[in-house]
Structure 1
Amino acid sequence: MTESKVISEVVQKLAAEGIEAVMVKRPDEDEEDGDLIDVLSVPAWELADGQLCRKAFYGFIHAKLASRPTKGLVASVPGVNYCDVYGYSPVAVDDGRVLDCWDLNVLSTDSGVEGFSWQEMVEADDSAWWEGWDVPTELQHLPRRVANLYMLMNYEIVDLPPVQPLSEQELIEALKSGKHRDGLFCHGTDLNDRWTLRLSERESLVLHKLSDGSFTPIDQTHIDSKGRLVLDGQVLMHRCWDF
């Protein structure tokens, strides 16, 4: 599809959502002389410098998901497996607080929705955001802003799979695999300390605290009703934290 056709479709779909988009002339940021070029402007979604605002972009997604933790928004390219999947962080959901747009995580995958994994979802931040996220090869002939808006306007609300609980045996097998010679990282109460999950000589789970060298036995009873590994109220591990 040509750039002009993509832009026309994006403008129409944004208008259907009640969002104005128009073509304007702006200096070309990639050229020293700053020649004026045509840019798709979405005034309500732009920062003071004219750049596409991530908060506005995420705000649109948040409004569509309406704080439903089991739902996700898939931004895609028709006929292409690549897509961005947005969903609320299970950690934020488990906290029980009111969700907002910054609780959204994203997964970019070339395996379609079938490639979704809670462990591969990332929080992302503005350092990787410039007129949107990276786009697939099929859209790289388009301005990055246009490509991101095109994907977003081809959105679909889907059911996300439930977050599977951790299990004692799973953690034991992960440590036995040899991929975690220094143990599995655990979130402790002291940022200056290092807590890791390890195997004892009997191949049972123990929590090691570097500060005092202690080992605390860990078993299935430390996995709470939300499937998290917890010790004395402190969440040590969560399914959505990769390990």
Structure 2
Amino acid sequence: MSSFSAVLTSEWTKIRTVASTTWTLASALVVTVGVSAALCAFFNASFKNMPAEQQATFDPTLASFAGMSLGQLAMIVFGVLVVGTEYSSGMIRTSLAAVPNRASFLFGKLLVATGLALAVGLATSFLSFFLGQAILGDRSIGIGEDNVLRAVIGAGLYMAMIALFSMGVAAILRSSMLALGILMPFFFLVSNILGAVSATRKVAQYFPDQAGSKIMQVVPGAMDSGTPPYGPWGGFGIMALWTLAVVLGGYLVLKKRDA
């Protein structure tokens, strides 16, 4: 199998026919939309009890994505499974026998999986936004307002980038369990804890999730997130550099090591 289009078709078939990857993508959508809607209802009900500074910096767009921290975990699982399952099942040897060109094999896999993650991410971001704004009522904002459409599209891009980053890490580690054991605690606990502590915030703001999530904001410093020394696209660029680094690392490992 030498044609790159055939590689793409093969990778699409693998993802489509494996139940675990399909369910993790569905979970990413359902969890993000559901949790975001619930938190928007909470914000709307408790808005008058918020401190004045939080009211002044309330970002209805970002509130629509309040469930992203949980939904992104499903995207991490998806990304890890797409790459790691090949190693845990031993199918990596069969795949590389069919596609001897390792660059074509890896980047074909990443292209298909990232495209699928982007489609689900955009569906998730638009559903979360419109449902969240409907719940927020008088505190809502229209998608035509300044920077709102950028934030909504950016939320979808963020989810796709999280999945791609996870694929790169799984390619480096060649193990689903090890990759999940590092990524899940890092994104769910370590990054959030270090980002909330003033002494470590200056370092944590350059972590991929902390930087990339700024693309979802319309109001700077919303939800006590602080104001970093870069803008929304600058933060997403930092996340993209992290992702490029791990993807290249994954390719070098695949190229130099036996299957």
Q: TM-score range by the shorter chain?
A: under 0.3
- Structure number with the higher strand fraction is 1
Q: Taking structure 1 as the reference length, what is the TM-score of the superposition? A: 0.24
Q: Taking structure 2 as the reference length, what is the TM-score of the superposition? A: 0.22
- Structure number with the higher helix fraction is 2
Q: Which has the larger radius of gyration?
A: 1
